[in-house]
Structure formats: C-alpha cells, structure tokens
Amino acid sequence: MKTLRIGLAPYADMKARTMAIARGELKPAPNDPKLWFTSIESLARVLSDKNRALLQLITAQQPTSLAELATLSGRAKSNLSRSLKTMARFGLVELVKGRGGTITPRVPYEAINLHFPMKRKREVRLIGRASTGLRERIG
C-alpha cells in the first residue's frame, strides 16, 4: 500500500531540514514525511472535508475526465478544477492529460498519514563560524 506521510513543522525547521538535506548533512529516513505543512490550518485548507471526499471519490470511481468527476461529485467543473490544481501542486492528486484534451484525475496514494510529534527532537544546528570553530545551538 502506497502511503503519503505528511508532517507539521514551523517554517524555520522545514527550511533548516531542507538545507541540511541539500548539503548532504541529513539523509531522510524512508518513513519520514514527504509533504510538510507549517500549521494545521494550512493543512486543513488543502485537505478540507470536501477535498478529502473528492480524493475518496476519485479513488473509488476512477473518473476518466473532469466532466465525469463534476457529475459524480455534484461540484461545478471550474470549482473542481481549481481544487484539483491546488491538490496537484502538493502531489495529492495527479492530473493526467489524455486524448482530445481530457484531463483524468488520479490519486497516487491509498492512504495519508499525519506525522505530528508531540516532543521535538533535540538537534544541533550550526549557526555560524567563530574564530575558535563552529558555534552550535541546541534546540
């Protein structure tokens, strides 16, 4: 089963993590989140009740076009297109272009797990160079 893991972290922590990965100082574990949000509110905007229902509908019915999905969902095609484009930016849905300009929505995951640690890991971050070496900040 292909599962998307979503994490929540402050922007500064996400940026520090991304930079550490880019510098080769950190290798993400296989079960680390692949998609990050800075708050529950930002996550809720993308994965609202309506959008989660839409993902479940796409998975269950496998519509072959946006027009078919609009009929199945009872949502206006323009509203549906906007929601799907937002979710596609986050990788929650794929919009596959087909013959005749049709777009087929696909959900690439069977489940979504939210990773929300209650205790922050203690980590050491380099914050600059001093004449005697590197200074560290322990978070």
What confidence tens digit (pLDDT) does each residue in 72-103 have? 999 999 899 999 999 999 999 999 998 888 89
Given this model, what pLDDT does residue 116 score?
A: 76
Tell me which CATH code domain 48-108 carries.
1.10.10.10
pTM of the complete model:
0.75
In the predicted structure, residue 49 carries a pLDDT above the cut 50: yes
For CATH 1.10.10.10, the residue range(s) in the chain are 48-108
pLDDT, average across residues 125-137: 42
- DSSP at 66: H
Given this model, what pLDDT does residue 53 score?
A: 94
Given this model, what pLDDT does residue 119 score?
A: 67
Give 115-130 pLDDT, tens digit per residue.
877 766 544 444 444 4
In the predicted structure, residue 134 carries a pLDDT above the cut 50: no
Contact present, 77 and 66 (Cβ < 8 Å)? yes
Given this model, what pLDDT does residue 99 score?
A: 84
**How much is the mean pLDDT over the chain?**
85
SS3 of residue 107 by DSSP: coil
SS3 of residue 14 by DSSP: helix
In the predicted structure, residue 132 carries a pLDDT above the cut 70: no
Which residues have C-beta within 8 Å of that of residue 89, sequence separation ≥ 6?
none
